[in-house]
Structure 1
Amino acid sequence: MTKQHPGDRSLGCLSRRSVLQSTAGLLSVPFVAKATAAGAQEKLAGSGEVVAFSWGGPYTDGMRRAVYEPFTEATGIKVLDVIADNAEPQVKAMNQAGRVDWDIAYLQLQNYPAMHEAGMFVPIDYSLWDQESLEGVPSDARLKETVAVVQWAEVLAYNQRAFLKGGPQNWVDFWDVKRFPGPRGLEAVLGRHAIQFALLAAGVAAKDIWPLTDDKLDRAFAKLNEIKPHISKWWSSGGESAQLLVNREYVMTAAFDGRLVGLIRQGVPIKLVWEGAYLGRTHAAILKGGPNSANAQKLIAFMNRAQIAAAFTQATGYAGPNTNQLKHLPADLIPLLNVNPENAAKTISENFTWLAAKRPDGKPNGDHIQERWQAWRTQ
């Protein structure tokens, strides 16, 4: 399975150090102290450990600093992280072997239904959550057996130095190579992101993007044929897209928001365009049969608290879904985040239910789209 999330460990031309420096800001000690104050100790206190999946690289460094270390300080529970590109294959293998070594895994939601049917997860214990978490995390991000841990967006981003009189405002402009000349970038890995952008460029209304039926795919690929000669490089990692934009090898590109937030706050002249951005979430699940399920419930509850979510956002550049974190974030950071209601209103949310649904031939819609994408890319 190809890696599908913004926290990928492949940093492209960005060094690990430069990516860490480009995050929205290091977590300060006073902030940690405030975020881990009373409340967690009472409801979430425990002992022992919990084994949690992570992607490695700058994401895990930020997660340790903003979530795991404060969690251990507040509760007495140690967090052991296991690193992999994708959790699903290993979760399935552990389930089949009858030996589950992890407690928490990350999922792309289109993979959830089949894994749920196989009985791989336990329900999330929302009674451990504080009221601010329950109110701040949207109900569609709090499912019975999974909860969102990262909310990410693939946006249109451009280098302002390339367009001194104003840059593109939407995906129609991305396709307008006469008004906005210059090399462009699109993601190579997951086709449905570029397909959404192509449909918007073709005039399809945001409310009509999903489901991605075959007639819409035909329309999208016809539109993609127009822009294909102007894509100077199809990027395969979030770090790569960011570096090519910074280096002006792109004048504009589709890019994951979290990769650019820190650069913008450092003064790099990059502009994010939220209109028509692809909004997705990565969810966490507690594995049935895991060695420390009770502690896993406590970690899930802790990481979704508003102040911890704010610390996570500052440490990684990516936002957790708890909108109450906005009360605890620097004012200059809020306009750059997908959890800002003003930005979120312009995005298009991924329809994971439809992606997971099966076609008449038994193939999931998501797999069908990806096969068409890969065939088109190699033409």
Structure 2
Amino acid sequence: MIKKDCVGHLHSGLSRRSILKSTAAFLSAPFVAKATAAWAQEKLAGSGEVVVFSYGGSYTQGVRKNVYEPFTKATGIAVVDVTADIAEPQVRAMNRAGRVDWDVALVDGQNYPTMHEAGLFQPIDYSLWDDEALKGAPQSARLSDAVVAFRSTTLLAYDERSFLKGGPQNWADFWNVKAFPGPRGLSAVARHMVLALAADGVPNSDRWPLTDDKVDRALKKLAEIKPNIAKWWTAGGEPVQALINREFVMTSCYDGRALSAIRQGAPIRMVWSGGNLVYVYWTVLKGGPNNANAHKFVAFLNRAQSAAGFTLGTNLTGPNVNQLLHLPANIVPLLSITEENASQVVPQDDAWLAAKRPDGKTNVDHLQERWLAWRAQ
């Protein structure tokens, strides 16, 4: 495996410390299917390389072992990974300069709409996908020029040691400090104020768009719980570590972080009800040096066994539900793509967040202003 750069940072949904041990365990798990050349139909065979953006650290370690190496073994195409904090600024810069050095990038759902409108991505070649991958990944995950790489849910997580007779079951319980006493944690990300709407009884179907009246309602609800918030966390690894250290009894948390900790034996329980679901997409960059190989890479990633390897190696869950057949039974109930868990979470409205208001600001910028003003009170 070739590596061009080593910034060594992770995406906000990952944690080196929290997943290092579990990643190592996953790499040796007998459940990971061994890829063979038979996996790749003739149409995926090739030569040369494909240059792929990576978050670095444990993410890169896991995805190399479980996905990249099997891809190369099956197709003959080498994977060159380049690492950085996030891909979007560099993708835009390469496009402006007229020199695109990468082939495949991970793009956050919140950034996808504007980059799509700017024409930065190639249409995905779905003719390379096998029937199983097309059936396993829902149509909503297969956009014209992007494919969901993984789902990340901000959900409620709690310390089982603090609630031996049963813990909170929803966000209304998070606000119920009498029935469930103890210090809490909440994300400092502005859009996560939607969790307060869940606590205030807003139906999942009415959560988005986050109009001004809903923002008012969310901030009013947050004022009720504010005295019980021990910390507004900013780094993705903080809430899990605070639960383990008993600094929080419950907190909002990324599902991938909670999964990692649970796999290491942490006494943490995940509550999916009302979680905020976001997508991160695989994109094939227009003007990249190895576009043909890039499309083969994306097609391979979305096969069930490849998707299972990605989940085991990174603690992040891709959209192909057929991967559940290739995963350890104790992991399956902890994933966002099971029917039960998927039915309880609410997809974030990325198109609305990226849209501009009459004053020229995006909705996400407006939310940030409202949020910071409220926090300063």
Amino acid at match of 2:276: Y
Q: 1:29: how far off?
A: 7.7
Q: Give the structure-2-normalised TM-score.
A: 0.93
Contact 2:10/2:55, CA 8 A, preserved across alignment: no
Corresponding residue SS for 2:237 = helix
Q: How does 1:288-327 map to 2 (within 5 A)?
A: 288-327=286-325
Q: State the number of aligned residues.
A: 369
Amino acid at match of 1:151: R
In 2: Cα distance, 1:31 partner to 1:37 partner? 19
Amino acid at match of 1:136: G
Would the alpha carbon gap of residues 338 and 9 (structure 1) be closer, same or farther in structure 2, given more than 3 Å must change? closer
Contact 2:14/2:256, CA 8 A, preserved across alignment: no
Equivalent residue for 1:225? Answer: 223
Q: How does 1:154-169 map to 2 (within 5 A)?
A: 154-169=154-169
In 2: Cα distance, 1:375 partner to 1:137 partner? 41
Would the alpha carbon gap of residues 298 and 32 (structure 1) be closer, same or farther in structure 2, given more than 3 Å must change? farther
Cα deviations across residues 121-151 of structure 1 (Å, max 9, x unaligned)? 1100001111111111111110000110011
Equivalent residue for 1:259? Answer: 257
Contact 2:184/2:251, CA 8 A, preserved across alignment: yes
Equivalent residue for 2:84? Answer: 84
Contact 1:10/1:237, CA 8 A, preserved across alignment: no
Corresponding residue SS for 1:153 = strand
Equivalent residue for 1:275? Answer: 273
In 1: Cα distance, 2:127 partner to 2:342 partner? 28
Contact 1:184/1:252, CA 8 A, preserved across alignment: yes
Q: Percent identity?
A: 63
In 2: Cα distance, 1:17 partner to 1:214 partner? 38
In 2: Cα distance, 1:358 partner to 1:141 partner? 24
Q: How does 1:290-369 map to 2 (within 5 A)?
A: 290-369=288-367
Would the alpha carbon gap of residues 282 and 248 (structure 1) be closer, same or farther in structure 2, given more than 3 Å must change? same
Equivalent residue for 1:62? Answer: 62
In 1: Cα distance, 2:33 partner to 2:244 partner? 35
In 2: Cα distance, 1:317 partner to 1:24 partner? 12
Contact 1:23/1:261, CA 8 A, preserved across alignment: no
In 2: Cα distance, 1:163 partner to 1:29 partner? 32
Q: How does 1:27-176 map to 2 (within 5 A)?
A: 27-28=27-28, 34-40=34-40, 42-176=42-176
Cα deviations across residues 148-179 of structure 1 (Å, max 9, x unaligned)? 00111111000010011111110011011111
Q: 1:230: how far off?
A: 1.3
Cα deviations across residues 302-345 of structure 1 (Å, max 9, x unaligned)? 11111111111111111111111011111111111001111110
In 1: Cα distance, 2:108 partner to 2:37 partner? 32
Equivalent residue for 2:26? Answer: 26
Corresponding residue SS for 1:149 = strand
Q: How does 1:178-257 map to 2 (within 5 A)?
A: 178-188=178-188, 190-193=189-192, 195-257=193-255
In 2: Cα distance, 1:377 partner to 1:186 partner? 12
Segments of structure 2 that go 5 or more residues without pairing to the other structure are 1-8
Would the alpha carbon gap of residues 32 and 166 (structure 1) be closer, same or farther in structure 2, given more than 3 Å must change? closer
Equivalent residue for 2:6? Answer: none
Cα deviations across residues 200-223 of structure 1 (Å, max 9, x unaligned)? 111211111111000000010111
Segments of structure 1 that go 5 or more residues without pairing to the other structure are none
In 2: Cα distance, 1:9 partner to 1:37 partner? 32
Supply the RMSD in Å over aligned alpha carbons.
Answer: 1.9
Contact 1:23/1:259, CA 8 A, preserved across alignment: no
Would the alpha carbon gap of residues 334 and 10 (structure 1) be closer, same or farther in structure 2, given more than 3 Å must change? closer
